[in-house]
Structure 1
Amino acid sequence: MGVRLQTEYEVDWLVAGSGAAGMTGAVVAHQLGGAVLVVEKEPRYGGTTCKSGGVIWIPGNHRQAEFGIGDSAEEGWQYLKGLIGESVSEPRLRAYAQRASEMLAFMMAHSHVDYSPLPTYMDYYEEVDGYKSGGRSMDPGFFSLRRLGDEADFIRDDFHGLLKFNVTVPEGRCLGDMNAAAYWLGFRLLLRYWLDLPSRLRGKTDQRATLGPALVARLRRSLLDRDIPLWLNTPIRELLVEGDRVTGAIVERDGIPCRITARKGVLLATGGFSKNTAMRQQYQQAPIGAEWTAAATGATGDGITLGLSLGADLDFMGSAWWSPTYRMPDGRVLALIAGKAYPGSVLINRQGLRFTNEAQPYEDVVKDQYASELRGEGAIPCYLLFDATYRQNYPVGHIKPGKFTSDASLPEELFSSGLLTRADTLPALAEALGIDAVALEATINRFNANARVGKDPDFGRGDSEHDRYYADPKIQPNPCLGPLETGPYYAMRCEAGDLDTKGGLLCDEFGRVLHESGKEITGLYAAGNTSAAVMGDTYPGAGATIGSAMTFAYIAARHAFGHDGVSNE
């Protein structure tokens, strides 16, 4: 006879989702003495966090002083309030500003999480009071996947960088300068990659994880150290309720229903609904769908649906962490973060017009893309145009500069799929794209004239610190601006994409899910993109999504275990 699998379990804290929010909430609850279980519906752990840069945005963090950066929670609050306004409740917004640094100190003390400030990675909106020119966005460093043992085989493996080897945020910034220091760094990183002979002989990817995978690996190692179980292939099917309290859930583990009692509560951290076409079309502006998002496949709104089944309230369902994306011939969708700011490029709609400051924060580029579309200009998709000088010197998305990878070396599918279009002249490029050639030439001529003097009177490209971060400092007087004047010319098709959705379950300052009546649903918490974003319909700085995910998972766990106040641990 076969062994009958156990189908009933009791824990203190049940977590749904294995991204930054879920695993943070698990570590905190365990540190507070709880028995914890993490369930993940996908066959691999890490979620959308594993596809991200892993950066967190933490005002007044405890490491800024090491870098000579002055900041405080109050200044962070001032910046957030000036940017977000009244769209998020003051207690919830204050909770983030005041407790994000507390979360970070706790996780660095009690887990493998280890973040360093990025001194030159600025907030996104320097005109807002409380702005800082660096130090709030933080890099997770690198982490060896070997430290995960066999669990390394189950981390999400769909993160795709530009190079064979992985790079941290500072390393990527250095490589982007393409100077002597960059080439020396690249040589050392490549040499380290090839000298890892065991991995090369076994056909493994770089075992030095960075960015989002590094954060996920650090959190997974922290769970392993604590013997916190993580069940893969285990979706939550139903929340259990006794009286007016959530007491657990029915999960399906490898196809077998299991009843999980959770004495302290349930944390929903399953991500957003980016991959759910029906939900996107119900709540968001057209044209929209699930095919342009860079989020993980599991972001189908499961946690939001579970909350709705209990009458939970929603907010910001029309919003997302917007970013232009491009779709590879094999179906992969990648975010276009940096390439749009290099000199010698413009974004144009299908009337041949510029419609945005290409170098501004990626969220605002997509908002401008939708505004152009609503004006009837045909901006979804739009095109990133660049010339041969740009192609030779700069990467665009995952495509290496021409000095390293010639056009002849590029996969033909990049062109046959329509992702890339190439022509010897601007009129020929316009014809290939179905764009009016006269309008396009007029747009480029005006842009070129302004670029030569280093000013963009139409959209202000290059005026802000943020604009110049991903630009080329060798180009003066404006590192963001250079003319497009050398054929052949290229166009990359860009969609109105996102990193994940922002809308979700409305929560209070403790991460408790709120009912439509305004009362909290006792025992039910949400964090990450399952919850309505504390950042509202804005994007304060790099890492705002993961920083808020980890912070409210931390706050939720502490609240569930009776630790409501500020921690001194």
Structure 2
Amino acid sequence: MTIGQVNVQDWDSEYDVIVVGSGAGAMAGAFSAASRGFKTLVVEKTPFLGGTSSYSGASCWLPATQVQERAGVADSLDAARAYLQSLLGEAEADRREAFLASAPELVKALEHDPAIEFRWTAFPDYFAGPGRMDAGRSMMPLDLPRSEIGNLAALVRPNIESDRKGESHPDGPLTAGQALIGRLLLGFMNTGNGSVRTETEMTGLIVEEGRAVGISVETADGAHTLKAAAGVLLGAGGFESNTRMRAENGTPGSADWSMAPRGSNTGTAIRSAQEIGAAVELMDEGWWCPGVLQPSGDGAFTLGFRGGLMVSGDGRRFANESLPYDRMGRQMAFAAEDRIPSWFVFDSRFGGGLPAIMRPDITSPREHLAAGTWVQAQTLEELAERTGLPAEALSETVQRFNGFAETGVDEDFHRGEDPYDLFFTDPSHGPNPALVALDQPPYFAARMVLSDLGTKGGLRTDPDARVLAEDGEPIPGLYAVGNTSASFSGRFYPGPGIPIGTAMVFAYRAVQSMAAR
């Protein structure tokens, strides 16, 4: 057996399944494996478990499950199939059908463990079309009391605000992404078949007669080799933090603007699989979002605009600002030279704060204004001067938008005509709650960049998450899920929680494949 050209005589440790990474997909796979009796190891290179999943709202797009049934939500696999087909056509039909078939099974298997429980949450699907659910088909984990998870809470990555400030979890239960990772971790450890190694970085895959049989790792005390008798599951995120890989693949945005935890998601798992012949695809793709530029140079994921408007360098609007964040991000990337950065313009009716949700939200308006990432002015002409925008165009844009706010009809981009557009708005405001006039000076403008929730291109996989070689044949023993794999949703983001939902489903299917050997 070899790591590259280095012979391996003895293993330092042996397991049935090794899971590389610790986001929602990886942890669902680890739980599934350990629940089947596999001796399972989770390897995480950072000090905490959860990756970008721990920062998330933890929506999981999983159609027609017992969670929807409990909530009285009428959903079906046929409706979900029609919706996905309306977006994707017949592309990836095999993986689509595998996902649909296994989503209800996964949820049933997860909730069989008392540590794991979900609730349905209203959040509209992102596109109009047959099978679309205006109230959504996503679910979230229940909050996790500290009394239930105990000392294991220290392993879970804190929320993004705390983590970016170098702080630990705030007091109280684990919520959202921390609750999802915490519940999966608790279930995993309760099986008695699971163990975790943090600050352990995979450095390569070990192959014997064409089969992946283990991994090499680097820790504080040196290099080690770990055997995986049944399989290696790669769930280590994408390559959004790797500036070189982004440049090589023409991936828009910047590592500085990504939401990935610092030191994570550098593409090592993808590179390691490529070194043994794995194929990749969609490497220029990501899960995009507008980001408010921070004084540090980071981006803050921004969604749920309930006022204001966005303009490109010419002072003109270029899209419906209330679009789902990936769709708005794609509008920015479409004409990157003019739209990155863009400016989000709003007035003082929101008290000087941005009329949107930002993650992380750790920088005050005063700090933004001092750093120049936001500007403030008493008039639109002055605002244009301070931002470098054409004054006449900006004034005309705001005047036209204010007219739309009065009539309730956005004649340019139809803002407020889709259920998603109205989801974050104040329903008592005006004839169209998504259109709020800018007429209360002082005016503000926030510099906007193209952020991402991760890259979505990676290893090519089959319906059982088996990694495929360049010739299309599976590499025995090797599986990939989440952003380490190329998403079957291609260049679409169908609904809230698709990244997490699909990662967990395919991790579940990967373990089924391992068990069938």
Q: Which residue is 1:270 aligned to?
A: 236
Q: 1:549-564 alignment to 2 at 5 Å?
A: 549-562=503-516
After TM superposition, the runs of 4+ consecutive aligned structure 1 residues lying more than 6 A away are none
TM-aligned CA deviation for residue 66 of structure 1: 2.7
Rounded to whole Å, the distance in 1 between the matches of 2:433 and 2:481 is 39
Q: Which residue is 1:112 aligned to?
A: 115
Rounded to whole Å, the distance in 1 between the matches of 2:179 and 2:372 is 33
Q: 1:33 to 1:138 in 2, by over 3 A?
A: same
Q: 1:250-261 alignment to 2 at 5 Å?
A: 250-261=216-227
What CA RMSD, in Å, does the superposition of the two structures yield over aligned residues? 2.3
Q: 1:22 to 1:360 in 2, by over 3 A?
A: same
TM-aligned CA deviation for residue 63 of structure 1: 2.1
Q: Verify the 8 A CA contact 1:64 1:135 in the aligned structure 2.
A: no
Is 1:289 the counterpart of 2:293? The answer is no
Rounded to whole Å, the distance in 1 between the matches of 2:394 and 2:353 is 23
Gaps of 5+ in 2: 1-9
SS of the residue corresponding to residue 343 of structure 2 reads strand
TM-aligned CA deviation for residue 532 of structure 1: 0.4
Q: Which residue is 2:271 aligned to?
A: 305
Rounded to whole Å, the distance in 2 between the matches of 1:107 and 1:80 is 24
Q: Which residue is 1:421 aligned to?
A: 375
Q: Which residue is 2:3 aligned to?
A: none
Q: 1:78-477 alignment to 2 at 5 Å?
A: 78-87=82-91, 89-110=92-113, 112-118=115-121, 120-126=122-128, 128-160=129-161, 205-227=170-192, 228-285=194-251, 288-297=253-262, 298-330=264-296, 332-338=298-304, 340=305, 342-343=306-307, 345-373=308-336, 378-391=338-351, 395-398=355-358, 410=364, 412-477=366-431
Q: Verify the 8 A CA contact 2:281 2:457 in the aligned structure 1.
A: yes
Rounded to whole Å, the distance in 1 between the matches of 2:145 and 2:355 is 27
Rounded to whole Å, the distance in 1 between the matches of 2:366 and 2:75 is 50
TM-aligned CA deviation for residue 99 of structure 1: 1.1
Gaps of 5+ in 1: 1-5, 162-201, 564-569
Deviations 1:45-91 (A, max 9, x none): 1111011111100111112223332211122112112111244x211
SS of the residue corresponding to residue 502 of structure 2 reads helix
Q: Which residue is 2:434 aligned to?
A: 480
Larger mean Cα displacement after TM superposition, 439-448 or 95-104: 95-104
Q: Verify the 8 A CA contact 1:250 1:260 in the aligned structure 2.
A: yes
Rounded to whole Å, the distance in 1 between the matches of 2:359 and 2:78 is 42
Deviations 1:204-224 (A, max 9, x none): 613222111111111122222
Q: Which residue is 1:167 aligned to?
A: none
Question: Which residue among 56, 66, 69 is the counterpart of 2:70?
Answer: 66
Q: Which residue is 2:5 aligned to?
A: none
SS of the residue corresponding to residue 208 of structure 1 reads coil
Task: State the one-letter code of the partner of 1:71.
Answer: D
Q: Verify the 8 A CA contact 2:231 2:479 in the aligned structure 1.
A: yes
Rounded to whole Å, the distance in 1 between the matches of 2:115 and 2:298 is 31
TM-aligned CA deviation for residue 100 of structure 1: 1.2
Q: Which residue is 1:177 aligned to?
A: none
TM-score normalised over the length of structure 2: 0.92
Task: State the one-letter code of the partner of 1:237.
Answer: T
Q: Verify the 8 A CA contact 2:12 2:225 in the aligned structure 1.
A: yes
TM-score normalised over the length of structure 1: 0.84
TM-aligned CA deviation for residue 238 of structure 1: 1.5
TM-aligned CA deviation for residue 410 of structure 1: 4.1
TM-aligned CA deviation for residue 517 of structure 1: 0.4
SS of the residue corresponding to residue 422 of structure 2 reads helix
Rounded to whole Å, the distance in 2 between the matches of 1:393 and 1:282 is 38
Larger mean Cα displacement after TM superposition, 263-272 or 249-258: 249-258
Q: Verify the 8 A CA contact 2:289 2:328 in the aligned structure 1.
A: yes
Deviations 1:265-295 (A, max 9, x none): 0000000111011111111255x32111112
Deviations 1:298-354 (A, max 9, x none): 01111111111111111111110001112333455321012x2x13x0011111010
Rounded to whole Å, the distance in 1 between the matches of 2:228 and 2:369 is 53
Deviations 1:489-526 (A, max 9, x none): 01111111111010000100000000010000010000
Q: Specify which structure has the higher proportion of strand.
A: 2
Q: Which residue is 1:169 aligned to?
A: none
Rounded to whole Å, the distance in 2 between the matches of 1:396 and 1:366 is 15
SS of the residue corresponding to residue 431 of structure 1 reads helix
User: Percent of pairs identical after alignment?
Assistant: 35
Rounded to whole Å, the distance in 1 between the matches of 2:152 and 2:333 is 42
Rounded to whole Å, the distance in 2 between the matches of 1:416 and 1:41 is 36
Rounded to whole Å, the distance in 2 between the matches of 1:363 and 1:399 is 15
Aligned length: 503
Q: 1:456 to 1:132 in 2, by over 3 A?
A: same
Larger mean Cα displacement after TM superposition, 510-519 or 90-99: 90-99
Q: Which residue is 1:522 aligned to?
A: 476
